[in-house]
Structure 1
Amino acid sequence: MATPDNDGVRAVIWADDRLRLLDQRLLPAQTAWIEATTAAKVADAIRDMVVRGAPAIGIAAAYGAVLAARACGPDREALMRELDRLAAARPTAVNLGWAIARQRRLVEESVGDATPALLAEAVAIHEADLSANRRMGELGGALVETGDVLTHCNTGSLATGGYGTALGVIRSAYADGRIGRVYADETRPWLQGSRLTAWELIHDGIPVSLLCEGAAASLLASGRVSWVIVGADRIAANGDVANKIGTYSLAVLARHHDVRFMVVAPTSTIDMATPDGAAIPIEERPEEELLSFAGKAVAAAGASAWNPVFDVTPADLIDAIVTEVGVVEHPGLAGMHELMGQRA
C-alpha cells in the first residue's frame, strides 16, 4: 500500500551510532541490511554496489567519515587517509567528492575530537538531500502534462536520502494525477530498472511497466510517453550530463520522436569545475558483469566485453535540468552559471 506521499523506502539509515545500508544487489528477491562499522566497509559498499546512486553514495560517505574519525581518534593523518579511501571508491559520481570535501574541511577546522561535528554534518547532508528531492519533485512535476513517462536506471529513494530525484518528480506528478503509468528500462547489466525501480514503484503503489532498452524507440514512437525523466551522476558547467549508460541513446531517441527530456539532480551533482562532458571521467567496470549473470557465464567463451557504466548526454538534447533551486530549460553555460548563482 502506498504511503500518503508515495515514499516508503529508505536505503541509508544512521541509528544508534551505526550505519545501516540496504544491500541493493539482493533486491528484489531479498531484503538484507549491511552494518558498516568502519570507513573501509563503507568504501567497499560503495565500490561493490551495495549502495549506489550519486546522492546516496555521498550520504553514505559522509557517515563513513564519522566512522573514520571515531576509529582514528587524534591521528589526523590516519583520518585523512581514510577520507581519501572513501573519496576514491567511485570516480564519476561528483556527490562523493563533494561530501568528503565538506567533511575534510571540518576536520581541518576542528580542534580536538572531530566526530561530533562530522556527524552533525552528515545528518545535515542527509536531511538536505531529502528536502531537495521534495522540492525538485514539485518543480519537475509541474512540467509534466497528463500521460505516461519513461525513466532509466534507479533514481528513487534507493539512490538518495529519500523520495528520489527523477522518481521524486514522478512521485509528485503521480500524486497530482498527471502520470498514469511509468515505463522503466531494465537498465543492463545490473538491472537497476527491473530490480530496483520496479520494486520501489510497486512498493509505493505506482503503476510500472518494464521494457528492455531496445524497445524504447518503439515506445516513444507510439506516442504514449510525454517525457523521459532521468537522474544524473555529474553535470558539467555547460549542462552536459553524465548518467547511467543508455541515457544518451534515450536522449537521441526522445529528440527524434519529439518527446521531451528532463534531467533531475541536486545542485551538489553540478560540477562547475568540469567545463563539459568530455572532461567527465567515465568509470568502466569489470567485463564479467556483461559476460555473466548471477555468477553464470552467458557469453560465448573467448568473448571480451566493453563495460562503461555511464555515458554523456550533450546539453543540446536536454529540455530541462531540474534542481532544488530552480529549473534550467534548454541548458547551456549561461543558464548553468545563473542557476548556481541562485544556489549561492
Structure 2
Amino acid sequence: MRSVVWSNNCLTLLNQTLLPNKVEYIECNDWQRAAEAIRRLEVRGAPAIGAAAAFALVLGARELTGLEFCKFKHKLAATAEALRQTRPTAINLFWAIDRMLGVVNRLPPNTAADTAIAALEQEAIAIAQEDRTVNEKMAAHGAGLFTTPTTVLTHCNAGALATVALGTALGVIRKAWSQGNITGVFADETRPLLQGARLTAWELMQDGIPVTLITDNMAGWVMKNKMVQAVLVGADRIALNGDVANKIGTYSVAILAKEHGIPFYVAAPVSTFDFTINSGTDIPIEERCATEVTSLGGNCVAPAGVQVFNPAFDVTPHTLISAIITEYGLLQAPYQESIKQLAALRK
C-alpha cells in the first residue's frame, strides 16, 4: 500500500488520519489540496512529505502554463513558500522544495513554461524513485546491526506509510525480520495522534511481524523487564552534531534506553540531515492545536478551557544515540566528524 502515487497529472495520497479503520485515498488535482493534506497529516512522515511537496509543485506549475518564464518562476516561488509553511520541523519538505526550484533556476531565461513543467515532473518522479532505493540501502545497512534474535521497541511510525516505500526504521526491521534476526516489535502508541497504534502496529501486522502495542509510559517497564534489546526510530531532522528531532516522546525513550543499557538507533536518509544548523537547539519545533491532546477519537477527555502544551516533536541529544543508519552506512560518534564526511559524500 503506497502513501504517495503520481499518475495522469494527479497526486493521490493515502489518508493516514483514517487508518486503520478505513482505507481512503485523496486525489489532489491542485497544489492547495496537497498542501492541506500535508498540514492535516493526511500524508505524514518526513520522506513522504518531501515527495508530496515535490508533486504539489508540479501541480502548481501546471497552473502557470503560458506565462513567460520570469513570471512563471516568480509565481512558482510563491507556491513553494506556501508549501514551506505547512510543516516547520521535517527538513525533507524544504529539501525537496529547494531541489525542485533548483531545476527551474538552472534553465535558461527563454525557457517555455511547458518545458519547465516537464522538467519539474521528471525531478519529482526522481525524488520518489530515489526514496525507494534509499530505503532499501538503509535497510541493508541497518539489518547488519542485528546478528542474533532481537526484540526492538519503536516510537511513532517510520514505515512505508512515512515514505514512498518500505520505510526507514521499519525498513530496517523488515529486512532484519526476513533474515531471522528480529523476533518481535514493541510499538509505543505515540500520543497524541497514536501513530504507533494506528499506523505502525497496522503495518507490521500486514507483514506478519509480531508486534505488541504499549502505551508511551510503559516503555521503561518493558526495558527494565528485559523485554526489548534495542530501540529503533526514524527522524524528521538531524543537526550537524547528531542531535535528532523526531516525534514527541522519542527523547524520553532515549533516556530510558541509556538507563537500561539498551542501544538506541536512528534510521534516516541523507535528505533528513540539516547541514546548515549546528545542534538540535536550532531545530524549529512545530506546535499543534490543543484539541489533539484534549480529545481522543473525537471525544473530549479533558475539562473545557484547560491550558495545553502540544509540541509535535522533541530533540534527542547525540550523546544518547548509538548509531545513525543512512543509505551510505552507519554513522557513529563523534557525529560531528561522521556527519561532515556524509555531507561530502552527498556533494
The one of 190, 195, 203 equivalent to 2:198 is 195
1:316 is the counterpart of 2:319: yes
Compare 36-45 and 329-338 and name the one that shifted more.
329-338
The C-alpha deviation readout for 1:227-276, integer Å capped at 9, x for no partner, is: 10000000000000000000000000000000000000000000010110
Counterpart in the other structure of 2:219? 216
Q: Sequence identity, in percent?
A: 49
Q: Which sections of structure 2, spanning at least 5 residues, go unmatched?
A: none
Compare 105-114 and 12-21 and name the one that shifted more.
105-114
The one of 306, 327, 331 equivalent to 1:328 is 331
Compare 281-290 and 332-341 and name the one that shifted more.
332-341
Give 1:16 shift: 2.0
1:80 is the counterpart of 2:80: no
Q: Superposed, which structure 2 residues align to 1:18-167 within 5 Å? A: 18-73=10-65, 74=67, 75-76=71-72, 77-110=74-107, 111-113=111-113, 114-144=116-146, 145-167=148-170
Q: Residues of 2 paired with 1:302 and 1:62: CA distance?
A: 39
Q: Is the 8 A contact 1:134 1:168 kept in 2?
A: yes
Q: Is the 8 A contact 2:245 2:316 kept in 1?
A: yes
Counterpart in the other structure of 1:5? none
Q: Is the 8 A contact 1:320 1:329 kept in 2?
A: yes
Q: Residues of 2 paired with 1:87 and 1:67: CA distance?
A: 15
The C-alpha deviation readout for 1:190-247, integer Å capped at 9, x for no partner, is: 0000100111111111111100011000111111212100000000000000000000
Give 1:331 shift: 4.6
Q: Is the 8 A contact 2:9 2:59 kept in 1?
A: no
Q: Is the 8 A contact 2:100 2:123 kept in 1?
A: yes
Q: Residues of 1 paired with 2:232 and 2:218: CA distance?
A: 16
Q: Is the 8 A contact 1:59 1:99 kept in 2?
A: yes
Q: Is the 8 A contact 2:9 2:29 kept in 1?
A: no
Q: Which sections of structure 1, spanning at least 5 residues, go unmatched?
A: 1-8
Length, aligned pairs only: 336
Partner amino acid for 1:318?
Answer: I
Q: Residues of 1 paired with 2:338 and 2:143: CA distance?
A: 20
Measured on the aligned residues, the alpha-carbon RMSD in Å equals 1.0
2:229 aligned counterpart, secondary structure? strand
Give 1:87 shift: 1.6
Partner amino acid for 2:219?
Answer: A
Q: Is the 8 A contact 1:325 1:343 kept in 2?
A: no
Q: Residues of 2 paired with 1:308 and 1:170: CA distance?
A: 27
The one of 245, 248, 253 equivalent to 1:245 is 248
Partner amino acid for 1:305?
Answer: V
Q: Residues of 1 paired with 2:97 and 2:174: CA distance?
A: 30
